[in-house]
């Protein structure tokens, strides 16, 4: 069983580039995240290949549509054998409940919802006419997600402690915007180191470029796992 908290974001433009990295990695050291760019270009076959290679796969497509469409999309995603899928909480409670209804069987993937993207802050909320701080808005979306029966949310590690207090220890928090010490922030605004994030309540850490663009991604993963107290 894979107990690693690290999810490597495979932000590649081709299946060849993605699989070149995946072949270097060990399923005991990490899980994998396939997002919109890679999935749109390469499709479900690539996801199935990763699952067949022993990896837990987080299919990060952020479904956001009418309830029936999202439910059918989640059902299709589950058939790929993925470990976790997500919807966007701003689709509303009815949409999230529809997704939950088709993933109620015992071997269903973990179902989570996106709250506020880590590239967004108060300026972006204000531009949308939302007169709330990012923290207050995330709390509101997390409460909606929990009420719909989902397993957790994607959030900033800066909000993890707050959401653990609000939603309880069993409500999963998946946090992107994780950067090891001395790594570039890139396009993320609300970031933390792996240890800071876990100490703050994050259950899973999404880490992309610090691993995928490293000369030695396996060593980077070992160092991150050591920093958060995980040994394979």
Please choose, from the candidates 200, 209, 207, the residue with its C-alpha nearest in 3D space to the C-alpha of residue 225: 207
Active site annotation includes 72:
no
* Euclidean distance between the first and the last CA atom of the chain, given in angstroms as a whole number: 10
- How many residues in the chain? 232
With beta carbons less than 8 A apart as the criterion, state whether 81 and 48 touch. Answer: yes
With beta carbons less than 8 A apart as the criterion, state whether 228 and 178 touch. Answer: no
With beta carbons less than 8 A apart as the criterion, state whether 79 and 107 touch. Answer: no
Could you write out the DSSP letters of every residue in 194-206? HHHHHHHT-SEEE
**Distance separating alpha carbons of residues 194 and 68, to the nearest angstrom:** 37
From 5, 16, 36, 62, active-site residue: 62
Q: Which residues are marked as active site? A: 62
């Amino acid at each position: 069983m894979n107990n690693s908290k690290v999810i490597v974001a495979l932000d590649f433009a081709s299946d060849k580039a993605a699989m070149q990295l995946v072949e270097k990695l060990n399923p005991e050291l990490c899980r994998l995240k396939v997002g919109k760019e890679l999935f749109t270009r390469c499709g479900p076959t690539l996801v199935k290949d990763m699952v067949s290679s022993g990896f837990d796969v987080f299919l990060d497509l952020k479904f956001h549509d009418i309830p029936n469409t999202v439910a059918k999309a989640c059902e299709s995603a589950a058939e790929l054998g993925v470990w976790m899928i997500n919807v966007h909480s701003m689709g509303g409670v009815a949409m999230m409940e529809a997704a939950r209804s088709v993933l109620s069987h015992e071997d269903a993937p973990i179902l989570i919802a996106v709250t506020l993207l880590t590239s967004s802050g108060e300026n972006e909320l204000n531009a949308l006419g939302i007169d709330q701080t990012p923290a207050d808005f995330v709390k509101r979306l997390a409460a909606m997600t929990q009420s719909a029966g989902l397993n957790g949310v994607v959030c900033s590690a800066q909000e993890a402690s707050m959401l653990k207090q609000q939603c309880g220890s069993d409500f999963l928090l998946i946090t992107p915007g994780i950067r090891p010490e001395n790594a570039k922030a890139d396009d993320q605004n609300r970031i933390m180191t792996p240890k800071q994030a876990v100490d703050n309540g994050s259950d899973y850490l999404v880490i992309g470029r610090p691993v995928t663009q490293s000369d030695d991604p396996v060593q980077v993963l070992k160092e991150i796992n050591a920093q958060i107290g995980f040994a394979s």
